Structure 1
């Protein structure tokens, strides 16, 4: 079968979060809950807090939400694993705006966001990310619908990304992604069918490091992904799942056409609700990727993705996520790599207006053609103190550890601290 174009894209998204030292607070710990607070599927982060949640701007049939963050941070390893260790402080700002209809049927909405970081002494490491999008849903009957979505995303590879390190770049590498998505779901008694078609344009920006011009735009490619799903509810809240994905990746440069690939995968599994305390979804199966160039060995093996959420008390939520995917590489000596990732998160409502979170992440990248294996571990501590509906203090501490790397690439540790103030409508 001739491989063509698509590879799933990183549109790296930036998580906004939260702090370490909090002054004395007057808010009391939560002792009573409303009925909606204890409903199935409600977690610490999704629970409504009417006395502290932003109200937004409400118009007839429409709601607008907006927030802006501003703060400072410190990084003790700006360019990890590359030469002399550099440290530095930075200022960071984030803006998010969204609007959506409040209709009982059908939906329309728009989103926009921007995040920027400026280093006080290392301006070559500055970056600017932004996104804009629109979405809609047309309901058909009781449980069937058609959906569409478009997003334009500007993101970047960080300096601690192995893709950047191996290429020798010492600055972030920006890239743009345009995502066009249409899909639909149809329900027939206990059976629910779904299909999604996703088309992405991935464009990289060339960067200059000293007198060296890093031509990353040679990696520009297009991705076409089709997904077909089927669910069967054998009891309410418990489903048997099946999915098939077909992915086609095509590179724009004729010199890169040998990297074009075709991927197929089939997975099956369960979505299960254990009395509301445990909820989980897990699918596993097989994935295979073939390349246009005969000399490139195909990638194949186990594929899986899943998440388990546990609510031991109304004040604490634990979640575990697992995945194994094939990702596209911008390295000249590699086309793709297999990525296995795990994440354990604990969210705790310390006080009604104070949410504390901890997270441990592990990632393992396996590069073919003798390149080697890269393993990273990340630990996060976060906190958010809502002063009122409109103002919150947010802080974050993150430690990143390169646990394993191929020959010629240094292992390292990296610590980052942030403190921000958020204003919301």
Structure 2
């Protein structure tokens, strides 16, 4: 078995070096402000003529934070009240429940003219009125940073650790589990960008580690999750060439290695694999009206164990933003990727997803959003195909810079076909979120 612990340690150390290096370099505010303005005017890859509804600055409604030396601290607290008409995500004998959530968060970020560093911590504490088996406590801590080297070049890095609960609606979760499945996730990354003239080179390396806790059925039987423990290492490189200040073509190649902890067994052969993705595409901006990126190519994932068939074929992604007016943003996206499977007999699946979203600024402090995504998952090794529809509408009202409220109606519908089909269900959720920030 590969030494995944050393991978996580090495990449986390590299990320820490980038972040500490950013803090150690002195800054000259006036000179760097001039240089930043020059960078923007000379940047052949800027796509900022159009401003999305969610991106638009709203100085009267933005938290000021608490200054502390060269940093600003942003405390935040969100409280949710949710009604869920199918709390266990099942097809028959549906049970509804009311869920209350508390989401504390604190972010500390640098206030420098050059370089950047941020540290954060957040948690989600969920309490159910009727079914306390669904009560969960999730939390995340992490840090990110950027080291500006010379004009057009920087290094980035970050590390994060999280304790997470898998939602009942996850395609990989055990439907017979008495409590939701929990797991720990550790991740780290380092990246670099170098822009000069019409050429931009970028690269990034990531490592993620997953450690699942075993579940239990209502009868007390153990649901072994050890075969899902894994580490994923990914490295990607990209080159962009600017044809004009508004259009660039690019090529990108990424390689991945997925290493599972469990040894091969009669029921679940090891899911170790390696794969790649090769894409070519175009990144563009049409004045202040639209912008986007389209890429297409080939994806492949090869599994070490002959029990699983390899996954390969057409791959790609696209995201297009249209600004019909300054008050409306329309976003469309599509992707085709290989994902890990957490069910017996399958090692992965080919996922195709299309989506659309509309954001509209009805008032300066009232934003309406409608969103829909549709995905199809084709599993390898077993006869199963899933189709999933997600749709939601929401409204966010910003009371002032300290308080806001969001109301959301969300719907999920999953259908599964095949001899080893998964669960079929639909879930309707309605919730109100109150936010306090400083």
> Does TM, scored on the shorter chain, surpass 0.5?
yes
TM-score normalised by L of structure 2: 0.85
Q: Does 1:206 align with 2:218?
A: no
Q: Residues 220 and 365 from structure 1, CA distance in 2 versus in 1: closer, same or farther, beyond 3 angstroms?
A: same
Instruction: Tell me how far apart the structure 1 counterparts of residues 354 and 75 of structure 2 sit (CA, whole Å).
Output: 32
Match of 1:123 in 2: 132
Distance 2:306 2:429 in 1: 44
Task: Tell me which residue corresponds to 1:177.
Answer: 185
Query: Which runs of structure 2 are paired with 1:391-402 in the superposition (5 Å)?
Result: 391-402=403-414
Of 52, 59, 66 in structure 2, the residue corresponding to residue 50 of structure 1 is 59
- Which residue pairs with 2:324 in the alignment? 312
Contact 2:208 2:232 in 1 (8 A): yes
The structure 2 residue matched to 1:80, chosen from 84, 89, 106, is: 89
8 Å contact kept, 2:85–2:95: yes
State the shift of 1:421 in Å: 1.2
Q: Deviations over 1:164-213 (max 9, x none)?
A: 25x53354222221111111111232111111111111111112221122
Partners of 2:2 and 2:303 in 1: how far apart?
Answer: 6
The aligned counterpart of 2:294 is 282
Alpha carbons 1:4, 1:260 under 8 Å: kept: no
Residues matched between the structures, number: 392
Q: Give the secondary structure class of the aligned counterpart of 2:226.
A: helix
User: Residue 386 of structure 2 corresponds to which residue in structure 1?
Assistant: 374
Do the aligned residues in 1 keep the contact of 2:347 with 2:381 (CA within 8 Å)?
Answer: no
1:164 is paired with a residue whose SS is: coil
2:240 matches 1:231: yes
Residue 410 of structure 1: how far off its partner (Å): 4.7
Q: By how many angstroms is 1:86 displaced?
A: 0.8
Q: Given the alignment, which residue of 180, 193, 196 partners 2:201? A: 193
**What residue ranges of structure 1 are gaps of 5+ in the alignment?**
6-38
Q: 1-side partners of 2:160 and 2:423: how far apart?
A: 36
- Aligned-CA RMSD value: 2.2
Runs of at least 4 residues off by over 6 Å: 2-5
Shift of 1:82: 5.3
Contact 1:68 1:95 (8 Å CA) reproduced: yes
- Matches of 1:375 and 1:171, distance apart in 2: 25
* Residues 384 and 393, structure 1, Cα contact 8 Å, conserved in 2: yes
Structure 1 residues 170 and 239: alpha-carbon distance in aligned structure 2, compared to 1, 3 A threshold: farther
**Cα distance 1:296–1:3, how it changes in 2: closer, same or farther (>3 A)?**
farther
In the alignment, the residues of structure 2 paired with residue 218 and residue 160 of structure 1 have an alpha-carbon distance, to the nearest angstrom, of 20
Deviations 1:53-86 (A, max 9, x none): 1111234432221210113111001112355211
Give the secondary-structure state (helix, strand or coil) at the position aligned to 2:61: coil
Q: Distance in 2 between matches of 1:306 and 1:204?
A: 32
TM score, norm. by length of structure 1: 0.87
Do residues 412 (structure 1) and 425 (structure 2) align? yes
CA shift for structure 1 position 50: 1.2
- Please, which of 343, 349, 358 is the counterpart of residue 337 of structure 1? 349
Q: Contact 2:346/2:382 (CA < 8 Å) preserved in 1?
A: no
Deviation, structure 1 residue 354: 0.8
Corresponding residue for residue 216 of structure 1:
225
Q: Deviations over 1:63-118 (max 9, x none)?
A: 22121011311100111235521111111111222111121211111121111211
**Offset from partner CA, 1:326-356 (integer Å, 9 cap, x none):** 1111111111111111221111111111111
- Going from structure 1 to structure 2, the CA distance change for 1:405 and 1:268 (only over 3 Å counts) comes to same
Structure-2 residue corresponding to 1:303: 315
> Contact 2:384–2:422 (CA<8 Å) still a contact in 1?
no
